[in-house]
Chains A and B, each alone.
Chain A
Amino acid sequence: MHTHVKLTLRTPPDLPVDAQSLIPESFVGKDQADIGALPLLLGNRSVTVADFFDVAILPADPGDGRTEEAREGGTLHLCGDLSRFKHIGEQMACGRVVVDGSVGSHAGAFMTGGALDVNGEAGDYLGAHMSGGRITVRGSAGHFVGAAYRGYVFGMTGGSICIHGDAGHMVGARLRRGLVAVGGSCGDLAAYGMRAGTVLIGGKSRVRAGANMVRGTVILLTPPEAIMPTFRYNCVYCPGFWPILHASLAGLGLDFPGVSPQAVFESYSGDINEGGRGEILLCRNAN
């Protein structure tokens, strides 16, 4: 059996809320009172879920049954403007969190499995240090998507993050494994210091994409102003993996009009300061 819990926010708080308890694991098998008593931190004060949300336990949504994650770990459905709620879905390992509204920073950080779907905007550090599972954001995300916290060698080490809107600076900084795909544009230093993995930016990327990258692939579907001088031009070719990646992104709802599965890419190697084993692929027939 699985649980489907729906929390509806009554009034958005004035202070930031630390919502580490909002993961499916803390809801499975609990009754309404138990769920209402789950702790949240409002500013520096302890409060409960019931202080902010109307709690409803629903019969299994037939729609949920379609996703494997929901079958395994239950569904947590959050409704309302949660943009001041931080750490939603942090460290979740299974199940599914659906948010109809926006979430604050650190959503899905350190996530190891399951799915987080945000039908709204996400804050900074979305999926930071995540090692598994998938995150989908219908709107835009803040800075440091899938990145490392300050002082860490590696950021995200697995899983996938798919953002339909735009993203801020340092997308996928210090990425070690996994995929970060941004449909819209992104800020400075995408894939900064990346060790391995894949970062794809559909729209315009600002300065210094791939700076200090060691290995991995940065795919830019829209040509940037300039490629860093520490990248060396290789050739124009049609990467064998592109049709497959194109199809799987389409499966996640990310379509890139004008970029076909047979698109041709310019390949650059770099960052030469770090050994030059990474690559930037620049789409040729994008408009």
Chain B
Amino acid sequence: MLRIVNGRVHDPSHGVGGEVRDIYIQDGRIVSGEGLDPAQARDMETLDAAGCAVLPGGVDIHSHIAGAKVNSGRIMCPEDHYGHVRAATDVTRPGCGLIVPSTYETGYLYSQLGYTTVFEAAVPPIEARHAHEELMDIPMLDTGCFAVMGNNYLVMKVLNDPDPVRRRERLRGLVPWLLRASRAFAVKVVNPGGVEDWKWNAGAADLDTPTPPFGVTPRQIVTGLAEAVDSLGLPHPMHLHCNHLGDPGNVETTLATMETLSGHRTHFTHLQYHAYGRTKKGGFTSGAARLAEYLDAHPEFTCDVGQIVFGNTLTMTSDAPMEFKLHKMRGAKWGNCDIEMEGGSGLVPVRYAPKVLVNAIQWAVGLELLLLIKNPWQVFLTTDHPNAGPFTAYPEIIRLLMDADYRRSWLEKLHPRVRRRTVLFDLDREYDLDEIAVITRAGTARRLGLSSKGHLGAGADADVAVYPILSDKAAMFSRPRFVLKQGELVVRDGQIVAERTGRTLCVAPEGYRQLPEDLAETFAGCYTVKLANYMVEDEYLRRPEVVPCG
């Protein structure tokens, strides 16, 4: 057994807000200290957390850390690897990169921030094998991936069925089959219909634009999949990247999507990119307040922000048309991949600069969402790593949330017009440690349906992060005193002291065991792989853990 003593525990799931408590750990789980013989307690291995905040291990709900596009990013951005090199130590392997780190480096960097669980947010089923191979190579973290379905040919073919009962029934069979084929954890939808639309050169998809080749609309795709996810009782709701990412005025599309989905549990990802109003001349403004108001009234919805981090980064998404637009706009390097039958993907390096008005507004919009949405259980901290910035910037963002004076000090570094186009600098709210614990671990774990993560109650996984309490919150969260993974000390004073292999989290809902004949025929006729080679086998999962459906 192991105990962590004298620390101020922040466990919002159990209403514990900074009281000094001891945490007991046995066999990788947190156990109750009640009824423990004091002599026995004194003899066990003890970590002294005096002057520290004890939080559950961080849970990142949306990041891009493995798979085809991350690897393409590594190939495209050697400068990132030249610039950040880690030498091997007795316990760690060498690694490089910050924006698209190598696999081991990804695990180390997350662990050094106190994160213990991370989800890869976009894996087309046909690329899942590669994604899992990389996830297996990432130490220190429990991982899982979301299967992209919003532009999937088979899904659209089923949605095209005019009989609503049969359509629902078939989708309820197909979605579990795709999840099983990719050994994924949740259903991800990226620019529903829009990617397919672009591949047919049809232009940008609005909610009711019929998408070739079946004429299914984005509205039908999101409602169909949201219904299927709800009826299957998947632990995590539909994870939605809306249409028109990055366009001025796209808040209208986002609100219309929310209205369509009201009543269905939905997670709106990197909402910052979908929260822009439009001036009369077509310029950018913030639409965050309208979205915050909507979310306040709809507890079935959650979002993560995708907070902009100033500096160089690399955008990578299944939203291929958006990347093409970005490439044309910036003249930067561009990587593009047509994911046969299942969508697309693209990569473009970008630099977010505080003096560029659009970037400054984007930066402010993310913080506005975090500060305006009243319930912290509905908004989570992400940078959509690495799209809006690398996850290593989380401590800096936490400082912006916890320190209003520091936030205001940014005003002079930003483009002067940002003051008129956003409300950020009129907001005085400061997050406290409990709220930070919600948006970085408790809330994300709950939204992901992980009952053993994001809290410190008896029975929880012993993933724990202990931070020294400092007035500079960026310093506090960038160098944890201790990090425990499955009950083992892996980070001490910000340095990796042991390497642990995590688990792969997946789901196993009831659905098609085999594709029905017509879909199997479509598959055989159109895919470049055989059906028998498509499913990811068990050996591609390291220590799989099936999270039950409710």
Q: A residues bordering B, Cβ < 8 Å?
A: 149-153
Of B75, B78, B332, most buried by chain A (CB within 10 Å of CB) is B78
- A152 CA / B77 CA spacing, docked (Å): 7
Q: Are A153 and B78 in contact (CB under 8 A)?
A: no
B77: A residues at CB distance < 8 A: 151
Q: Is B333 an interface residue (CB 8 A)?
A: yes
7 new A-B contacts, CB < 8 A, other than A150-B78, A153-B333, are: A149-B78, A151-B75, A151-B78, A151-B79, A151-B333, A152-B78, A152-B79
Question: Chain B: which residue is nearest A110 at the CB level?
Answer: B82
Docked pose: A141 CA to B480 CA in angstroms: 51
Complex: A192 Cα to B94 Cα, angstroms: 34
How many angstroms between the C-alpha atoms of A151 and B78 in the bound complex?
Answer: 6
A131 to chain B, nearest CB (A): 15
0/1 interface trace, chain B 477-491, chain A, CB 8 Å (1 if under): 000000000000000
Task: Collect the chain B residues with CB atoms within 8 Å of residue A150's CB.
Answer: 78
B76 within 8 A of A: yes
Q: Which residue of A lies closest to B332 (CB)?
A: A153
Name the A residues within 8 Å of B79 (CB-CB). 151-152
Q: How distant is the Cα of A153 from the Cα of B348 in the complex, in angstroms?
A: 12
**Closest Cβ–Cβ distance, residue A105 to chain B (whole Å):** 16
Q: How far is the CA of A150 from the CA of B80 in the complex (A)?
A: 12
CA distance A139 to B254 in the complex (A): 64
Can you list 12 pairs linking A and B with CB atoms under 8 Å apart?
A149-B78, A150-B78, A151-B75, A151-B76, A151-B77, A151-B78, A151-B79, A151-B333, A152-B78, A152-B79, A153-B332, A153-B333
Q: Which residues of B contact A (CB under 8 A)?
A: 75-79, 332-333
Give min CB distance, B87 to chain A, whole Å: 11
**Minimum CB–CB distance for A263 against chain B, Å:** 36
Q: How far is the CA of A25 from the CA of B75 in the complex (A)?
A: 33
Q: How far is the CB of A209 from chain B (nearest CB, A)?
A: 24
Q: Report chain A residues within 8 Å CB of B75.
A: 151
Interface centre among A149, A150, A151 (most CB of B within 10 A): A151
Chain B residues within 8 Å of A149, by CB? 78
In Å, the complex CA distance between A153 and B331 comes to 10
6 closest Cβ contacts across the A-B interface?
A151-B78, A151-B76, A150-B78, A149-B78, A153-B333, A151-B77
Which residues of chain B have C-beta atoms less than 8 A from A153's C-beta? 332-333
Nearest-neighbour CB distance to chain A for B407, whole angstroms, equals 35
Chain B residues contacting A151 (CB-CB under 8 Å) are: 75-79, 333
Complex Cα distance, B78 from A152, in Å, reads 7
- Closest-by-CB residue of A relative to B80 is A151
Q: How far is B327's CA from A153's CA once the two chains are assembled, in angstroms?
A: 13
Least distance between B97 CB and chain A CB atoms (Å): 12
What are the residues of chain A within 8 A of B332 when measuring CB–CB? 153
| CB nearest to A149 among chain B residues | B78
List of A residues within 8 angstroms of B333 by Cβ: 151, 153
- Min CB distance A213 to B, Å, is 16
Can you name the residue of chain B whose Cβ is closest to the Cβ of A150? B78
Task: List residues of chain A with CB within 8 A of the CB of B76.
Answer: 151
A151 to B332, alpha carbons, bound, how many Å?
12
Cβ of A157 to closest chain B Cβ, rounded Å? 14
Q: State in angstroms the CA–CA spacing of A150 and B79 once bound together.
A: 9
> Closest approach, in angstroms, between the C-beta of A130 and any C-beta of chain B?
15
B77 CB to closest chain A CB (Å) equals: 6
CA distance A151 to B99 in the complex (A): 15
Instruction: Looking at the assembled complex, report how far the CB atom of B107 sits from the nearest CB atom of chain A, in whole angstroms.
Output: 24
Q: Which residue of A lies closest to B81 (CB)?
A: A151
A26 to chain B, nearest CB (A): 20
For residue B82, which residue of chain A has the nearest CB? A149
Task: A155 to B77: give the CA distance in the assembly, Å.
Answer: 14
